[in-house]
Structure 1
Amino acid sequence: MIKTIAVLGAGTMGHAIAETFAMNGYPVNLYETYEPMRNSVKGVIEEELKFLVENDFIPEKNIQESLDRITMFSDLKEAVCDVDYVIEATPEKIELKQELFAQLDELCKPSAILASNTSSLALMEMVSNISEERKKRTMVCHWYNPAHLMPIAELSFFGNMDEDIFKEVEELYQKAGKQTVKVLKDVPGLVANRIQQGVAREVFSLIEEGVASPKDIDKALKFGPAFRYATTGQLEVADMGGLDIWCTVGDNLLSVMDNRKEANPILREKVKEGRLGMKSGEGFFNYPADKINEIKNEFNKKLIIQLKTSQNYIEK
């Protein structure tokens, strides 16, 4: 049974992964090499926990309890030597991850399970420099951003590990409040990101063709397909609508929809112009600097509402 955890990297994903496990009662070693981030990240986590209290998601006493369960480390060996489960959330560079996993193979106890938060790099390539025995205890455990609010966790089962090891990790995530997806094949993007990119490709194409404004395209998604997707999967929707109907509509529409194999030119142009979205103040929409925190909070409030509601219908 997994009792102790180490998270490597205290950035956007790493700190929220640590926060999630700590909120759910697990002691967490949070490793970060960059000193300013290491010194400030608990403050970031505290503010996020306060936001959860303000929105009636956790009781106030959980703030300090959660913070007390997180211990900061600058030394990798000290952070990982005694833990049961290690998940890295470092930059998506294959050489970096190969080197890191090789270090973990040497530093961690033989029973430790090693994981990566990646959704784009192949597992066996990342762990190519570790022992064959250790490879049997490695996996991808992919979270969605913001990790402390999004309930999904994609867990790999690619044939390198025994079922009982997988179930041990699956139980850990379920106890941490996650809805787990068992991914059976190592494909780029895993499951959720591939579905998301399929939707995004057509959304960007509709903008490119001038079919509707960005605001109305987002409205069509939010109050059309996504309204059902919040509670119902695509395959359930297809079954309810009738597979004969879906087959006919597919024949009529798919041949005229976007099938390109690279990012839409609209995206490339915006990136070239430095219009990167919220991080630059403008993307498809505008984000005034003095309103960004308010916009982020409103976004997260909606996720909390969905998360609360989802607890009434999710599979136990």
Structure 2
Amino acid sequence: MTRPFRTAAVIGAGTIGLSWTALFAAHGLTVRVSDPREDLADAVTKALARYSPHLAARGLDVTGLADRVHIAADVTEAVRDADVVQENGPERVEFKQDLFATLAREAPAHALLLSSSSAIPSTAFTGKLADEDAARVLIGHPFNPPHLVPLVEVVPGERTGEDAVQAATDFYTSVGRTPVVERKEIAGFVGNRLQNALSREAVHLVEQGVVTPEDLDKVVTNSLGLRWATVGPFLGSHLGGGPGGYRHLVEHIGASMQDMWDGLGRPSRDPKEQERLVEAVEKAYGSSPYSELAETRDRKQLAVLDALSATAGTTHPKEEN
């Protein structure tokens, strides 16, 4: 560890912020949470109760979890003694500009300032900060829910200091995440761009009547999802080429791959077409409560993580305090 992390401030207590809160507290940090929502205390209590079994299943001691979480009256109180700040506000440049100006002014000079932004690079909202403040701001983008899904995309801005990049990597590693540093800013970063590329073609296929939303999900979970839980696209393709590897694959099906890329579709922007798509998804899943669907997802993700942990050479070991 390049520096100690004892106190974390979570700014914004939506789905992502509440998940971060539980994860940080489960790793022994004192967590101060700030959000203008009127039900903040109740939301935190319910989230800790819901996520505690998940964290315990990952080998973490959740005894006294709630005792380490404190509701802050405002942002200033939340960040006053923070070693690290995790921001989870709206995806609006102007909002983040104002918020990070406050964070830089009110947080201790050593505090690392991280944003869960899912699409906006930090350079877009740090232009008015002094160099010494911009140097400690960078993206720490998780995937939902971050207390379960290991990946965190660590994306430095144009003025982020290298020491902050290393500190962010150390911090996320210390709370059981898998940080990946991305050295070039791009809207959406890597994970969401990949996700949106697949989503775009999925929408196109449903709009064209090729498959229903429910059956398309079955295609993914029974093929690509299963494969990508163990290997990524490049290693999967390398193995797909047999003993000759990726080179053999490109040499023998490269042309047909290019033809398929050229034929990928663009979903319609017509409101009527979009409404038909929404209704199709609602027909498949709308009868089940959100909480039930989310809990089923989380149980399945835990099962995948446990299976990987039981496999020699896994990159997702059980977490430890």
Fold conserved (TM > 0.5)? yes
What is the one-letter code of the residue matched to 1:255?
D
Identity of aligned residues (%): 26
Equivalent-residue separation in structure 1 for 2:191 and 2:131 (angstroms): 29
CA contact (8 A) 2:207 2:277 kept: no
Residue 5 of structure 1, CA deviation: 1.0
What is the one-letter code of the residue matched to 1:310?
L
Q: 1:29 is matched with which residue? A: 32
TM-score, scaled to structure 1: 0.87
Q: Number of matched residues?
A: 303
Aligned positions of 1:1-316 closer than 5 A: 1=3, 2-50=5-53, 53=56, 56-58=57-59, 62-242=61-241, 243=246, 244-246=248-250, 247-258=254-265, 260=266, 264-265=267-268, 268-269=271-272, 272=275, 275=278, 283=282, 285-288=284-287, 291-311=289-309, 312=311, 313-314=314-315
Post-superposition Cα deviations, 1:18-71, rounded to whole Å, max 9, x if no partner, equal: 111111121111112222223432222212214555xx4446xx3342221111
Residue 231 of structure 1, CA deviation: 0.7
Post-superposition Cα deviations, 1:242-300, rounded to whole Å, max 9, x if no partner, equal: 33434233123122222x3xxx23895476579479xxxx53613325x5433332211
Distance 1:284 1:204, change over 3 A: farther
What is the one-letter code of the residue matched to 1:142?
H
State the structure with bigger RCO (CA 8 A, min sep 6), 1 or 2. Answer: 2
TM-score, scaled to structure 2: 0.86
Unaligned runs of 5+ residues in structure 1 are: none
Distance 1:4 1:46, change over 3 A: same
Post-superposition Cα deviations, 1:172-208, rounded to whole Å, max 9, x if no partner, equal: 1111111111111111110101011111111111112
Structure 1 runs of 4+ with >6 Å offset? none
Distance 1:8 1:267, change over 3 A: farther
Cα RMSD of the aligned pairs, angstroms, is 2.4
Equivalent-residue separation in structure 2 for 1:100 and 1:46 (angstroms): 29
Question: Secondary structure, in 3 states, of the residue corresponding to 1:223?
Answer: helix
